[in-house]
């Protein structure tokens, strides 16, 4: 089966988080020579497959393709059934075609064809890490697999997460890092009262208003060559009882900071405390994910860049933009990791689709990358 045929099979499994729907059995049939074990917990099913190539007295390089088989709910308004893949012109339609069953189909085919090639394969461990809970909370997803692999002494040295990274054309973007995410809930306390007697009230809306310009959209650092500035973005403000004659006792403000490696949670707390000095308030901050960065000069980043350039005939940009992904979890376990996949213009949307040509280019890129990894081992002997 080619990547399009494999993807069509994958899309047909309605794997809305955290459902697995038997998709792993099909995936294992594509790489029957790989050993495998499941790590299932909390209603989430995870699968790890691996194969040792060649013989070596020392531990060989371990490279892993990582991804997720779960998808977000399709919603209404699709032109066709989101779980019955439909080929229209140059595109295959279906939920998960971009995010990220397209990437999974590409690396499955690349691994299969690399192993079937007649090229002398040097000592190397190739593996696949899959989870059915990346789009959800992820509590029992990739992170518990990595914990298990650490105990087994099977943590990869390098990994590629096949998230859809490209923005305008296939091959234009490789993710070498991601910003972290800090969520905040701020409650400003006042004194409720009659609007006709403002001198007897302490209106939290007015208290915030005088300081809002120092919070809304402020950059908490200047960024650097790898990261955009860490910006405080207000997402919700609520106060009052929807009446015109009573000032509120409290005001609730919610915000998010997509933080670079230059700004930590305590930096956010200290800045807000400085802005709100003299006010009575409660502040709750939680770090839902931490930033990470893989050097653009690392062997992995340069190899992916070389494979992309050779296949897609363009020079990809290294980026850390966008939301969070499971790549951050791999990095936290000391795994050198980058992300590369299809375009992301239709992810999570109605009538999600992938360009067939792009899918084939992704497959060829992954195959070229495997040959580069094989060359690394050969050159180091």
Catalytic center residues = 70, 134
- Interatomic CA distance for residues 333 and 167, integer angstroms: 28
- Interatomic CA distance for residues 148 and 125, integer angstroms: 17
Residue 380 CB partners (closer than 8 Å, separation 6+): none
- Interatomic CA distance for residues 223 and 236, integer angstroms: 25
- Other beta carbons within 10 angstroms of residue 211's beta carbon come to 16
CA angle 251, 268, 231 (to 5 degrees): 90
Of 149, 86, 105, the residue nearest 10 (C-alpha): 105
Q: How far is CA 243 from the centre of its chain?
A: 43
Of 69, 49, 34, 66, the residue nearest 159 (C-alpha): 66
CB 42 within 8 A of CB 140: yes
């Amino acid at each position: 089966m080619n990547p399009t045929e494999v993807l069509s099979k994958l899309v047909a499994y309605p794997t809305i988080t955290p459902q697995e729907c038997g998709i792993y059995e099909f995936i294992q049939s594509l790489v029957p020579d790989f050993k495998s074990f499941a790590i299932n917990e909390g209603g989430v099913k995870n699968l790890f497959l691996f194969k040792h190539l060649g013989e070596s007295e020392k531990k060989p390089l371990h490279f892993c393709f990582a991804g997720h088989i779960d998808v977000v709910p399709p919603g209404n308004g699709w032109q066709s059934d989101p779980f019955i893949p439909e080929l229209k012109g140059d595109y295959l339609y279906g939920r998960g075609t971009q995010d990220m069953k397209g990437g999974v189909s590409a690396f499955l085919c690349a691994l299969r064809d690399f192993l079937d090639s007649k090229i002398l394969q040097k000592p190397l461990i190739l593996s696949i890490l899959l989870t059915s809970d990346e789009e959800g909370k992820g509590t029992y997803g990739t992170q518990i697999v990595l914990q298990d692999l650490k105990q087994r002494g099977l943590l990869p040295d390098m990994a590629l997460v096949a998230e859809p990274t490209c923005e305008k054309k296939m091959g234009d973007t490789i993710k070498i890092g991601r910003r972290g995410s800090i969520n905040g809930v701020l409650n400003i306390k006042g004194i409720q009262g009659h609007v006709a007697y403002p001198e007897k009230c302490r209106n939290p809306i007015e208290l915030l208003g005088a300081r809002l310009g120092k919070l809304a959209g402020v950059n908490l650092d200047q960024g650097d060559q790898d990261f955009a500035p860490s910006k405080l973005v207000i997402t919700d403000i609520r106060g009052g009882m929807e009446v015109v004659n009573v000032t509120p006792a409290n005001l609730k403000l919610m915000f998010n900071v997509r933080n670079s490696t230059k700004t930590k949670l305590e930096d956010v707390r200290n800045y807000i405390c400085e802005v709100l000095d003299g006010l009575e308030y409660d502040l709750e901050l939680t770090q839902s994910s931490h930033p990470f960065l893989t050097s653009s000069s690392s062997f992995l980043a340069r190899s992916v860049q070389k494979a992309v350039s050779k296949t897609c005939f363009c020079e990809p940009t290294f980026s850390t933009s966008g939301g969070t992904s499971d790549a951050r979890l791999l990095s936290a376990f000391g795994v050198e990791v980058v992300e590369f996949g299809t375009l992301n213009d239709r992810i999570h949307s109605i009538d999600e689709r992938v360009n067939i040509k792009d899918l084939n280019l992704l497959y060829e890129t992954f195959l070229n990358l495997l040959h580069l990894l094989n060359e690394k081992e050969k050159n180091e002997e």
